[in-house]
Every structure is written in C-alpha cells, then in structure tokens.
C-alpha cells in the first residue's frame, strides 16, 4: 500500500470515536507495520520534560527493554533534544545508537509536536539497510500531525 493510500486510513483511525488514545496509537502502529514492508518495529515514545526522559507508548514489533530513554541517548533521545527528524541508514555506523536487536539495520525517528512542543516521537526500525527516503519522512510527519489531534 502506498503512503498516499495509507493517509486516509490514518485519518480514519484518529477520528474514530469508539477507541481511546492508546488504542488508536496501537492501531496506527499496526497499520504501518502491516502495510509498509520495511517497517519492522513501529512505536511511539512520549516525553517527560521534567525528568528529561522518553517513555515507551504503544508499539508493534519485538519486545524492547528500552521503555525509558534519557534525552540525548540513542537516536530517540537525540530527537528529543534536536526536535528534528533523524534518519539512520545503517545503525552500525552510529556512535550514539542503543542496540535493540541484531536484526535492526536502520531507523527513522520523527518528532511529534503539539502546539509547537515536542511531546514525543514515532520510531521505526527496519531489518533492511537504508530503506528510508524523504517520502517516508513526509509521510511520518503527516502521521504525527494526525496523531497530534489526540492531545
């Protein structure tokens, strides 16, 4: 399924009235994981600005020990500080990478803004080296714009 075909499905999940926020976030993760071949782990992290930590929210994929990540640590922690997308074509080439699994080859993290504040991010791991393009970035920015409506 193309990103263009997925966009209305994301919007439909967000606007649906029967589910709570975490159920909607999980549904978004499932949709992406099932319909983008190289999205092998899809999840959300949310910021605690007082503690300067990220906390794992709904996700789909292999279990992770990384349920709390300090700002600045790993790719997700860097995005919490930079407020910018971070695409990692090859995780082995990153000095500040927190290894989740040997099967993870690349990662993309896109911050989630609500009223101009970075409240979290969507994090995607792939078992393929260098699959992410600018189209992935734009699509995930769209996903986060929709998700922001839940806050």
How is residue 96 annotated by DSSP? Answer: T
Mean pLDDT of the chain: 94
The predicted structure's pLDDT at residue 99: 61
33-58 mean pLDDT? 98
Cβ contacts of 68 within 8 Å, gap of 6 or more: 53, 54, 55, 56
Is residue 72 predicted with pLDDT exceeding 80?
yes
CB distance 13 to 27 below 8 Å: yes
The predicted structure's pLDDT at residue 95: 66
């Amino acid at each position: 399924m193309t990103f263009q075909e997925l966009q209305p499905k994301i919007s439909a999940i967000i606007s649906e009235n029967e589910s709570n926020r975490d159920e909607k976030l999980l549904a978004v993760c499932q949709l992406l994981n099932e319909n983008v071949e190289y999205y092998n782990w899809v999840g959300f992290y949310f910021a605690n600005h007082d503690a300067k930590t990220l906390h794992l929210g709904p996700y789909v994929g292999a279990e992770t020990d990384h349920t709390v990540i300090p700002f600045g640590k790993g790719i997700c922690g860097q995005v919490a500080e930079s407020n910018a997308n971070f695409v990692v074509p090859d995780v082995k080439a990153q000095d500040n990478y927190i290894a989740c699994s040997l099967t993870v080859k690349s990662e993309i993290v896109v911050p989630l803004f609500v009223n101009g504040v970075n409240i979290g991010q969507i994090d995607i791991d792939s078992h393929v080296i260098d699959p992410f393009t600018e189209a992935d970035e734009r699509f995930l920015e769209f996903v986060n714009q929709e998700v922001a409506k839940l806050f």
